[in-house]
Structure 1
């Protein structure tokens, strides 16, 4: 019997593909209009190098406090220097093309990219017109660190000098970090326009003095900016360029502070002591590679702890990777996770045919890399073997962190240190629950006893404390008592069934969005999925925010949809229940093999509905 799929069930097979394509097209169409072309730079390593010396000029660049939540994650890709808004950049490079474009500036640019720093690379050879175009102004304004690279002919370019004026204004007015590099010129020569730098600058000055008064006004601004920047502590490039690139990259990492921090909840309670205990072992002075295992039941906070440790240690590692939710991701193929690990560390998109090839690449090409790797939610020792192997796969002082619900994995993984994460105590549980239920650290007096009842039911499980706290928020005491009775009927170990109470409290549109995210849209840009939800009249803007407030989903960087694996499993269980062995009766099919079987069995007729 054919079962038509239409209306909301359009999401079953076609929506994720169709909507992703449409969204990708429209989003990129917007970006394309603001781009200007730039030739890709050669990424080869420099051939000859010498030793760097730090410029001893007075002054120092200020260091702003960074609050950017990284990402987890994302492997950077080379970006054209003319991206429309400039707001995705962390570093702005200003240099004179003929002097350094195919040399030092190019090596520095790619050195930054390799560690995941998004850099804007300007080249005055590619620029036209008299004024700094809005693209460059936006890039300077939004970049956290501004790096002018002074070479002999830097002062002959009006474009470079205008950029420098803007750079120094940003330093003086906004506290942005300026890190000047003096390429085969002295800082004092730049400031006083002396030496070979001054000779070329004055030749340019002579020509400008024959022109308008505006040119003379510009000259004064340029000289003032050159004098100011010469007093900022930076680096002189006379020695080994490859060593200096490493030095500058590490300096930038320290200045940024973010260091690609993974997003974690702001309402953490009691995690500091766990981070301290694990990092005390990881900070061991031993030169050996160390494997550390974090064990605990689902929803206990293993992933959050691993993220916090990763954020704390990432400063110390040029090469790092956080591979999330391996238990689920493993189903898509071992080589896909191997590709992610290699891509994160080498910053290269390497095609891998099968898991054996991936294993060989990791064990051979990463041998000389000091890495920080987190394998999150491992449920099979083979996952560790295929991704991080053993202690000699990486350079000395590498750190591998494994989280799992099954501590038996640690023996086969040759873990050096095991940390057993326990439930939160009653005091910590009360604080965490209150943060979500009352938006403060303790309950109002009239809710004190009811709060302690709920907290005791959660068993100190952070996920339940968050979800139930959000569920009870704004409810009257009579509603509290009714929900407490429901919770008490469910055995403490049945975490998923307890979480289901929050799902049942949603309205129909919220339930549909929750199930769609659980089945299709985890780690997806919310804008892509919202096109479908808008068409289905599910009011995504309001309902996504409601799901977030209910702690059933998280939104990272105001964009990416995230969901705890317990909640994901709950959603998929709801979709499958009553028809476990009859997938054609499910409202959603997310497993490609399962969907293919249904189509081959001719159980489903798909109608594509296009909404105007």
Structure 2
């Protein structure tokens, strides 16, 4: 945010977030004139964004003692995904605010940064035409700043006035609590659009499978699409589902990925899964006292929401009943993707599309294995026979190909020969035992 003078404020290190946020990986940058709203509207907005789990840059919290004021701020703008300039009549009296705004709009043009302006007790037309104190404040900078810089600041104010944002006095008759909720909701929505699930870089044969499923989805369907991806463990169900989820995500404002359902439910219970689903879609924490309570909340709060949901590793019909029902809880056009090893779970449920994931073909298996073992699409000549022998023992299971290939990367021929002999003795259906061979060969630290 901007200070009302050029004197660097004394701040403190960020204390409220996870370690992963240290290093200035900001999601939202707030630009405002500190003297006007630091303890009022901006503080309320900042706190609400933080409570929603969003990492926000604000100078009195984020700047460290001794940091230079200008470069730190401008760098933080560049790093942020979203900038929110809070513009009011005295905004232009701060040269730092104007510098921030110019940088924000530059990032919008060159980096595609999202800019969501708030016109606080001022109309966009006043900003556009520099009426009243806005005009006087900008012109006053001519005494100490280059004429071209002041001209750039005027152009920035005009440009931001045309962006779609919020006018505080027109939101619920000026009630700021409503405005803050709207801003938080919009920010979360935009961040979700930017978010992609992590998938391996060395994918083989996934694109065709995704396109196959996408071709079956009818956008005119007046219900919820429930897509079931099933197959044995290690076959790549989760990876395929994640790629499909990423492909569809830009079309949905409300999304949720619930991973490792089988393991999480046994450790923390079904209501924990319901709480995650509710909080991710609604955007706020919600207390769920029991499973029936969770179902009631889902049914009552989600009927107007078009959602994209990925339920990973479902091994019991009870989880589907508790999380998505038959799909009628959601607005038409919603999509639920389910991965499971047990096909029988799907036979008792209404399914829009079933997709059985089979093993990779032999040539695809060799490519995937080589990408992990040699960092290229084919094995080196000296290891080609070993590679084909090992690949044949994995029966096209992506997880086994990835783990064994990574383990053998850089190993001696003796290690390759020993591993190949061990793998030949294990039936192809025993995926875990195949992976155990590579695991047991690692030293304790790597295990």
TM-score, normalised to structure 2, is: 0.79
Gap runs ≥5 in structure 2: 1-10, 61-67, 173-177
Task: Confirm or deny that 1:226 pairs with 2:158.
Answer: no
User: 1:318-397 residue pairs with structure 2 within 5 A?
Assistant: 318-331=253-266, 332-397=268-333
Residues 417-442 of structure 1: CA deviation (Å, up to 9, x unaligned)? 11101100111101000001111001
Instruction: Report deviation, 1:445.
Output: 2.3
Task: Report Cα offsets for 1:431-456 as digits up to 9, x if no partner.
Answer: 00000111100112232222111111
Partner of 2:345: 409
Determine the C-alpha separation between the residues in 1 that align with 2:309 and 2:412: 46
Question: Among residues 21, 24, 38, which one is paired with 1:87 in the alignment?
Answer: 24
Helix, strand or coil at the partner of 1:392: coil
Instruction: Find the aligned partners of 1:284 and 1:84 in 2 and give their Cα distance.
Output: 38
Gaps of 5+ in 1: 1-31, 37-77, 124-130, 210-214, 515-612
CA distance in 1, matches of 2:97, 2:363: 59
Cα pair distance change 1:356/1:406, threshold 3 Å: same
Q: C-alpha separation between the residues in 2 aligned to 1:87 and 1:453? A: 48
1:182-204 CA-to-partner distances (Å, cap 9, x unmatched) read 735446x646xx3xx43203443
Q: Residue in 2 aligned with 1:34?
A: 13
Partner of 1:148, secondary structure, is strand
Question: Does the alignment pair 1:217 with 2:145?
Answer: yes
1:267 aligns with 2:267: no
Distance 1:304 1:133, change over 3 A: same
SS class of match (1:198):
coil
Cα distance change of structure 1 residues 315 and 112 upon mapping to structure 2, 3 Å threshold? farther
Tell me which residue corresponds to 1:494: 430
Tell me how large the CA RMSD over aligned residues is: 4.0
- Tell me: CA distance 1:310–1:205, structure 2 relative to 1, closer, same or farther (3 Å): closer
Aligned equivalent of 1:429: 365
| Number of positions where the alignment pairs a residue of Structure 1 with one of Structure 2 | 418
Shift of 1:153: 3.6
Q: 1:333/1:426 Cα in 2 relative to 1: closer, same or farther (>3 Å)?
A: same
Structure 1 residue 285, shift from structure 2 partner? 2.0
- Return the alpha-carbon distance in structure 2 between the equivalents of residues 401 and 171 of structure 1: 34
Q: Specify the SS of the correspondent of 2:313.
A: strand
The answer to whether the 8 Å contact 1:145/1:176 transfers is: no
CA positional deviation for 1:269: 0.8
| 2:85 maps to which of 144, 148, 167 | 148
CA–CA distance in 2 between the matches of 1:293 and 1:396? 18
**What is the rounded CA distance, in whole Å, between the counterparts of 1:285 and 1:252 in structure 2?**
27
How far apart are residue 84 of structure 1 and its match?
8.9
Residue deviations 1:530-573 (CA, integer Å, cap 9, x gap): xxxxxxxxxxxxxxxxxxxxxxxxxxxxxxxxxxxxxxxxxxxx
Q: Does the aligned pair in 2 maintain the 1:363–1:389 contact within 8 Å?
A: no
Question: TM-score, normalised to structure 1's length?
Answer: 0.60
Q: What is the rounded CA distance, in whole Å, between the counterparts of 1:379 and 1:236 in structure 2?
A: 45
